[in-house]
Structure 1
Amino acid sequence: MTAPYASDPAQVRGRRVAEEESAFRSPFQRDRDRIIHSSAFRRLKHKTQVFVAHEGDYFRTRLTHSIEVAQVARTIAGALGLNGELTEAVALAHDLGHPPFAHAGEDTLDALMAPYGGFDHNAQAVRIVTSLERHYAEFDGLNLTWETLEGLAKHNGPVTPLRGDGPVTPLRGHGPVTPLRSDDPVTGSLPYTLADYNARHDLELHTHASAEAQVAALSDDIAYNNHDLHDGLRARLFDDDEIAGLPIVGDCYAEVDRLYPGLDRKRRRHEALRRVFGVMVGDVITRSRYLLEDAAPASVAEVRHLGRPVIRFSDALWGDLKQIRAFLFARMYRAPEVNDMRLRVHGVVSTLFPHYLNAPDHLPEEWRRDLAQAADETALARLVSDYIAGMTDRFALQEYASLTGEGARDFSDNGV
């Protein structure tokens, strides 16, 4: 049964370029399908979460992660009576803006772009689906519905404070919204690319997004908390006994041992971690049902203007997840092997960016066509940033090798 606060595909707020809707697919289903068929979505196959693509066939990529997020999001949306197609569209597109080499690549590109407005992967996802995908005759981008664009821009919560009403509660954590970046009184706390688009198409960035977009955001948390534990185990950065000391995880291992004594290591691990998944999903559904019943929003518009999220973990589970994240940060994200790779990929991006900035004629032909519109250095830097952000790990290494003679094999001796 659809809830009154669910996003109604019959009441969409339109697309930036008007077009006739399909007789067979809802507007949100068309959004989801366009995302799946986009070039940026296919490239996620060769963009990684933590490890660089060649380090192992079994580590998660941005593509497999996005599919896992969409699966979790569909489950939660269905349990809460929300629109599954919109939830899935936001979930599948939420990582489109990530550059190569996971967060290390983004950190480096953000630092290089600091003089030109910085780089933010959420804002870049909006830029991709509104401009950089160029396949349709009548428009640039994918011409997604307002609701899907809103979900991409602010699925983590409002991007700017409420107009005149002070701070609002973010989706994750418990403090006020923190401005992302601003030296410009006009754009406020908006990343450059998001401010640029929002000036032409107001996404109401001061409010929360729909409940569907909020579900996609917490599904992202659920998926990466679970699969980072799995990938860290596979990479032998820690072992089963160590994570069995973590909250939630320890109870799940204990339950598996009670039900299946003597189970082999691989099956034991899988059974425990799938239970971790279940605990997180169940907690979000239970807590969100309570929040929705308490707030009793009569429409999706009321969800947006509540000033607080309606999709959340319980405080107790949120505290447990912070302990798990602290463990992963110390033992995985900042492990010596991963830090070594971070330094190496920093060198790759730091070499490519100034090269193309100083020699834009080395950009591919289809990118050189936009040079005439690059009126100043900032516009040129954004063009170069768009090009590098769209690279896969593998292609970035190939381009780096063509400039320096250092190949991908030189990046694979870290023992992971």
Structure 2
Amino acid sequence: MSNSVASDIAKRAAVAARAVATLTEQQKNDVLQRMANAIRKHQDKILEVNQQDMAAGREKDLSDAMLDRLQLNPERIEGMATAIEEIIELKDPVGERMPFTTRPNGIVVEKMRIPLGVICMIYEARPNVTADAGALCFKSGNAVILRCGREAIESSKAIAAALHEALRESDLPEDVITVVPTPDRDLMLNLLQQDDYIDLVIPRGGEGLIHFVSDNSKIPVIQHYKGVCHLYVDKDADLDKALNLLLNGKTQRTGVCNALEGLLVHKDIAEQFLPKAAAALQEKGVKIHSDQTSASYFEQPDIISTDAFGEEYLALEIAVRTVADFDAGIKHIQDFGSGHTEVIATENETTAQRFIREVDSAVTMWNASSRFSDGGQLGLGAEIGISTSKLHAYGPMGLQALTTEKFVVTGTGQTRD
């Protein structure tokens, strides 16, 4: 039964994708504004349903990080509506033509951006993904199938009901944005086999979910296993600036993938910086996991071995290591980073540029908080996910990452010899 249900969902989405692909930018923007308005209009209903999901989550002993992602409030709902309006302001990439070459025989070769088609989003306790993914896929001319985890299923359906209202008012099929009505795992497995209709799968959630989807999908998968982000405080850092980057990156919001999980400090400034960091982190209630060299600066740290670095805590915890020099800091990131976001605090531009060139992560930052590693903060509008694999996108994924390119060739009757 679940195989036929999955096939039907995928087929209907593929048909709906053709309706979206032909809309003009203005038509899409008009529908998106209706979506934002509908989310505001149905705020009370969405909050009511979310409270039910939150109560169920507490009964199931969900982690604080999962509950934080699950919880909605008026500010977060307004944030969803505002994110859709920010997407309206973004240039529609669909149909954009890029000159490529003019051949000696006179044919003109261009590239043109086109939608991917049907995107399947699989996510856990993130109800806001329903609005973000629905709007981003719609603006980029795609249909989307949203498979939400059981933790947020009712919240996701309530948000989708608002989006569907906007689609109906615009004479568009609801299958443009499909919410899978059950978190049944067999149904998800069967969706992952629908490669005739679904063009891309984007999982968002824990490392176990990403591995499961990647291992079982016949469809290309965007991977983002975890966010182990580091701040490297260089010997030429402004220490007050570095401390602010540390506190913002670690404590502003802990249960997110762009929060700091590691602090690396050059040995030449460890004696000046680590006492400041220790006092500030203690005041915020941050648990310290430290190497032996850094331990003396902290009160009762958890001293860990080298192979214990690289954890994604998603909590008020951080791993601290003193490194001998810049190269040792880079080596640590290579060994324990996850390809998400890495930050250097330094006033030395040459060192900063080396860091940017040599660190292989989707986002590298110089004197800026890791918390800016987010589609909205980087000017993409709401992001559909962050890719830590390099095909076909790397880093936060906005509208352009939800399109592909085709060749357009214009001639005057040329034939090949």
Same fold (TM over 0.5): no
TM-score by length of 1: 0.29
| Larger Rg, first or second structure (1 or 2) | 2
